[in-house]
Structure 1
Amino acid sequence: MRDRFFAPVHKALAEPDAGTRKCPSLSDRDHILSGIGRVMGTERSGRGWVQHMQMDWGAAVSVCGFFDSLKSARRLALVEDIATHVRLQADRQCAGMGADPLAEHPGLKGFAVYASDGHYEKAAAHTPPVGGEIQPQGFFYSVNLRTHSMGLLDIARPSVKKEHDMHALKRLTAKSLRMGEKEGVKVIVAYDPAVIDYQLWRNWKTQGLYVVSTEKENSAAEPVGLKEWDRADPRNTGVLSDEYVSTSVGHMMRRIGYRDPETGRDFSFMTSEFTVPPGLPAFIYKLRWDIEKAFDEKVEAKRAKRQALAERIAAEAGRRPNPLVAGCARATER
């Protein structure tokens, strides 16, 4: 099982353009495997993890050598490249096995669909203060809703206080948010209302990136027209309305009124995508709620408990191995 779990990493490292170098004290391979092991292990401190490596792995690495390797810009770039390679392996493997939960919806043909979110945790023991306060560790992730593979968008960069999601998203390019999807592929991303900036949505739309979110309570959007939609289509179950709205910045958006058939709760969804049946944006956002458990430390299942532990330790270590762990786990499940 160990060999099977790490197989995607070994495959990525074997690529001729992997960018690895020889290092006698701690090889690139061991650096990446130790990062994954650190995420999955129970040691609370980096020193404790080095002792574990020395005793159980027979590694000759020192505490200073281990932490110096974490400061390497080259190795950081290598980890990011390997994580992307592993994520794409999981995507291809899941696509080849018919595991796409959105495949039954022809209206989404030609769309890549993601759920993104920011996730904050308690600061590590040696996190330097920002503005006189120690800020929590923040990460921004994106999950492929067709394959459930995970990728890291960025790490929060607080200045005076915790960085707001929109501040980080404006720093990223549409290309980054498209998660490497090929030109010509439309990308839908579901995000909570922190993403609402209709001028930015319009700019993203010109680059093939569409957003689905819930409308803010203080929204000033005004209806300017109604869309025709098939009330007999089971995909539209729960849809109350589908309308064009004018926003405060003058750009037209789409607003979908929806009542959850299970709970009877009403929702108002905003999207920059105008073509798919109105029930699908609601469905996509509901999937985002399900995926949000991957960022929640309080899920009752064992898998979520492991995820919570992994993210907490990763935050303390100040690295980016979470998508690697998720990619290996997803490939192993398949």
Structure 2
Amino acid sequence: MSHRCEKLHNELMSETVFSEFFSPASSALNRVRYAAGRFKSLPMEDFCAFGCLRHLQGIQTLREQIQLLFHLTEAAQMPVARSTYSDALSSEYRLEILIQMVTQLFRQARAVLPDRLAEIPGLGERSIYAVDGSYQHESAHYHRCAPKHGGEDNPKGHMMLAFYDVRIGAPASVQIETRNFHEMRVFKDYGQEPDSLLKERRALWVVDRAYVDMPFWDAQYKGYRQTVITRMKDNLLVEDRKPRDVSEHKINEGILADEEVVLKASSARWRLIHYQAPDGNCFKFLTNEMELEPGVVAFLYLRRWDEEKCFDTWKNSFASKKAWSKSVTGISAQAWLAIMTSLLLLMFAHHHQDRWQIGDEKSLMKQSDRIDQKYIKEGQRIPWHTFLYRSVSKISQQVIRFLKYCFWKKASRKLYKRQLMPMLLRYM
């Protein structure tokens, strides 16, 4: 380990709140084989730890991050130079290690975090993924050149195409694209990667209408038995339709019709489900998933919004609204560090909630108040999944604040009970 980082590393990782928070990531890194000797000025573990800390602190600039690290120790010089960390962000070798590390961490999270869909009928153990794109402002050092000026840069900013595991409520992977490409093209390119989730057998995807591409989903079903749930597009031509029986089970409340349809754009079987929400709004869901009850199909599409809460955390709590680097490698490293921080937060919160046998009580009480106001007082139908799906979509802001202000303190049961537990029970 370099002399400059050693003192800070020892203090940061010595029985502190942060060392407990980061320990699953350290374990994941230990399972990745790499040449540690190449990183003499900034060890890989510190590179990841400082990146997670930057997200937790919501620090937008590298200069501020380096100054924070300097203030954490009494060393006479900066523990890491700004140029060193900037170069580390742009290292393709570090990015490869980081991706392998987060992949290992995601497997840990799947084994630890509760299955939010365990009680939803018909799903078994199938993987349920959502995908959506979000756009990030460029680094201050980056000068965009959009197509109207003769370049390829996306006028909206950098696209972060994030893949979200609905079962555990956590991001699983990300694809970065700086060029002016449609989300579906980036999605297809991602499918060519060796470890792509698009190669997982029998996975179920929940996507919006930007991802309606019938030949693509036909090929996914044929190759991997993957199915999709999306919204019907007006320009899709239905050549034939045949009604399907809808059982009178409670989970099908609000289902107006379930049809098997023949689409001009596809040679496979599809379903068109007509659903009326409790507020009276009607929706049409399109799927090639032929086994699930139509009410479950409608429910899963509504769960797609959980990913929006993940983006909200990244942009408003983490330092992900703006790119840390102008290189694609650096932008990708930032996004993978955001996934790492999200997984660590979920595991950290779950560990303490499980120990105290509580949930995010303040958010669950707010959810109950919303049910009372929206359904009971207004006389609307209470959806069947209201009491089956009792999971908070967003990572608690109060947990993030606890880590933001207490990461340097010595970890102890007394500290957690005095400062963390009250934040989970009520708004402070």
Report if TM-score (shorter chain) is over 0.5: yes
Are the structure 2 counterparts of residues 121 and 157 from structure 1 closer, same or farther at C-alpha, using a change threshold of 3 Å? closer
Tell me the SS of whatever aligns to 1:310: coil
Question: Does the alignment pair 1:165 with 2:180?
Answer: no
- Match in the other structure for 1:310: 318
Which of the residues 26, 29, 47 maps onto 2:42?
A: 26
Are the structure 2 counterparts of residues 20 and 330 from structure 1 closer, same or farther at C-alpha, using a change threshold of 3 Å? farther
Cα offset for 1:259? Answer: 0.7
Q: How does 1:69-108 map to 2 (within 5 A)?
A: 69-94=88-113, 99-108=114-123
Cα offset for 1:229? Answer: 2.6
TM-score, normalising length from structure 1? Answer: 0.86
Cα offset for 1:311? Answer: 4.9
* CA–CA distance in structure 2, aligned partners of residues 114 and 240 of structure 1: 26
Instruction: Please tell me whether the aligned partners of residues 12 and 18 of structure 1 are also in contact (alpha carbons under 8 angstroms).
Output: no
Cα offset for 1:26? Answer: 0.5
Cα offset for 1:333? Answer: 1.5
- Match in the other structure for 1:155: 176
Deviation track 1:206-251 (CA, whole Å, cap 9, x = no partner) reads 2122111111133322443222231x21111111111111222232
Cα offset for 1:39? Answer: 1.8
Paired positions, count: 313
* CA–CA distance in structure 1, aligned partners of residues 196 and 122 of structure 2: 22
Unaligned residue ranges in structure 2 (runs of 5+): 1-16, 326-330, 351-428
Which of the residues 158, 167, 187 maps onto 1:137?
A: 158
Q: Which amino acid aligns with 1:77?
A: E
* CA–CA distance in structure 2, aligned partners of residues 307 and 327 of structure 1: 16
Deviation track 1:148-172 (CA, whole Å, cap 9, x = no partner) reads 12122311241xx3x2211111112
The sequence identity of aligned pairs, in percent, is 25
- Match in the other structure for 2:9: none
Question: Does the alignment pair 1:219 with 2:236?
Answer: yes
* CA–CA distance in structure 2, aligned partners of residues 18 and 333 of structure 1: 29
Query: Hey, which of these two has a bigger chunk of strand by percent?
Result: 1
Kindly name which structure, 1 or 2, has the bigger radius of gyration based on alpha carbons.
2
Are the structure 2 counterparts of residues 109 and 43 from structure 1 closer, same or farther at C-alpha, using a change threshold of 3 Å? closer
* CA–CA distance in structure 2, aligned partners of residues 290 and 44 of structure 1: 25
* CA–CA distance in structure 1, aligned partners of residues 26 and 94 of structure 2: 16
Instruction: Please tell me whether the aligned partners of residues 39 and 314 of structure 1 are also in contact (alpha carbons under 8 angstroms).
Output: no
Q: How does 1:1-334 map to 2 (within 5 A)?
A: 1-15=17-31, 17-22=32-37, 23-56=39-72, 60-94=79-113, 99-131=114-146, 132=149, 135=154, 136-158=157-179, 161=180, 163-173=181-191, 178=197, 181=200, 185-206=201-222, 207-230=224-247, 232-251=248-267, 252-261=269-278, 263-296=279-312, 304=313, 308-312=316-320, 315-317=323-325, 318=331, 319-320=334-335, 321-334=337-350
Instruction: Please tell me whether the aligned partners of residues 223 and 243 of structure 1 are also in contact (alpha carbons under 8 angstroms).
Output: no
Are the structure 2 counterparts of residues 178 and 78 from structure 1 closer, same or farther at C-alpha, using a change threshold of 3 Å? same
Instruction: Please tell me whether the aligned partners of residues 320 and 338 of structure 2 are also in contact (alpha carbons under 8 angstroms).
Output: no
Instruction: Please tell me whether the aligned partners of residues 89 and 331 of structure 1 are also in contact (alpha carbons under 8 angstroms).
Output: no
Q: Which amino acid aligns with 2:227?
A: Y
* CA–CA distance in structure 2, aligned partners of residues 237 and 141 of structure 1: 32
Q: Which amino acid aligns with 1:68?
A: D
Q: Which moved more, 1:268-277 or 1:210-219?
A: 210-219
Q: Which amino acid aligns with 2:93?
A: R
Instruction: Please tell me whether the aligned partners of residues 242 and 259 of structure 2 are also in contact (alpha carbons under 8 angstroms).
Output: yes
Query: Hey, which of these two has a bigger chunk of helix by percent?
Result: 2
Instruction: Please tell me whether the aligned partners of residues 138 and 322 of structure 2 are also in contact (alpha carbons under 8 angstroms).
Output: no
Are the structure 2 counterparts of residues 74 and 177 from structure 1 closer, same or farther at C-alpha, using a change threshold of 3 Å? closer
